[in-house]
Amino acid sequence: MYTQPVEPVLVVIAHGSRDPRHAATVHALVRRVRSLRPGLRVETGFLDFNIPSVQGVLESLAAEGVRDVVALPLLLTRAFHAKADIPAVLRDAPRRLNIRQAEVLGPSPLLLSALERRLYEAGLTPADKSSTGVVLASAGSTDPEAIAVIAEIAREWRHTGWCAVRPAFASASLPRTEDAVRELRELGCERVAVAPYVLAPGFLPDRIARGAERADVLADVLGPAPEVARLLLRRYAEAAVRVPLSRRAAVSA
pTM of the predicted structure, to 2 decimals? 0.93
pLDDT at 246: 58
Confidence of residue 102 (pLDDT cuts 50, 70, 90): very high
Please compute the mean of the pLDDT values over residues 24-30 and round it to a whole number.
98
Confidence of residue 2 (pLDDT cuts 50, 70, 90): low
pLDDT at 10: 98
Please compute the mean of the pLDDT values over residues 189-204 and round it to a whole number.
98
Q: Which of 1-15, 19-33, 102-116 is least confident? A: 1-15
pLDDT at 79: 81
How far is residue 61 from each of residues 4, 42, 229, measured CA to CA in Å?
10, 11, 23
Q: Spell out a b/e string for 151-167, using b for 16 or more CB atoms within 10 Å of the CB, else e.
A: eebbeebbeeebbbbbb
Arithmetic mean of pLDDT over the chain = 94
Summarize pLDDT for 129-161 with one digit per residue, the tens. Answer: 999 999 999 999 999 999 999 999 999 999 999
Q: Which residue has the higher pLDDT, 114 or 80?
A: 114
Judged against a pLDDT cut of 80, whether residue 183 lies above it is answered with yes
Query: Which of the 8 DSSP states describes residue 84?
Result: I
Judged against a pLDDT cut of 60, whether residue 248 lies above it is answered with no
The sheet carrying 191-196 orders its strands as: 164-169, 132-138, 191-196, 217-218
Judged against a pLDDT cut of 90, whether residue 229 lies above it is answered with yes
Confidence of residue 84 (pLDDT cuts 50, 70, 90): confident
Percent of the chain past pLDDT 90, that is, above it, reads 89
| Euclidean distance between CA atoms 7 and 146, whole angstroms | 31
| Euclidean distance between CA atoms 66 and 22, whole angstroms | 28
- Dihedral sign for Cα 17, 18, 21, 27, please: positive
Q: Are 154 and 166 in contact (CB under 8 A)?
A: yes
| Euclidean distance between CA atoms 167 and 180, whole angstroms | 7
Please compute the mean of the pLDDT values over residues 26-34 and round it to a whole number.
98
Q: Are 33 and 14 in contact (CB under 8 A)?
A: no
By DSSP bridging, strand 164-169 and strand 68-73 are unpaired
pLDDT at 80: 77
Q: Is 38 exposed, middle or buried (0-12, 13-18, 19+ CB in 10 A)?
A: exposed
Percent of the chain past pLDDT 70, that is, above it, reads 95
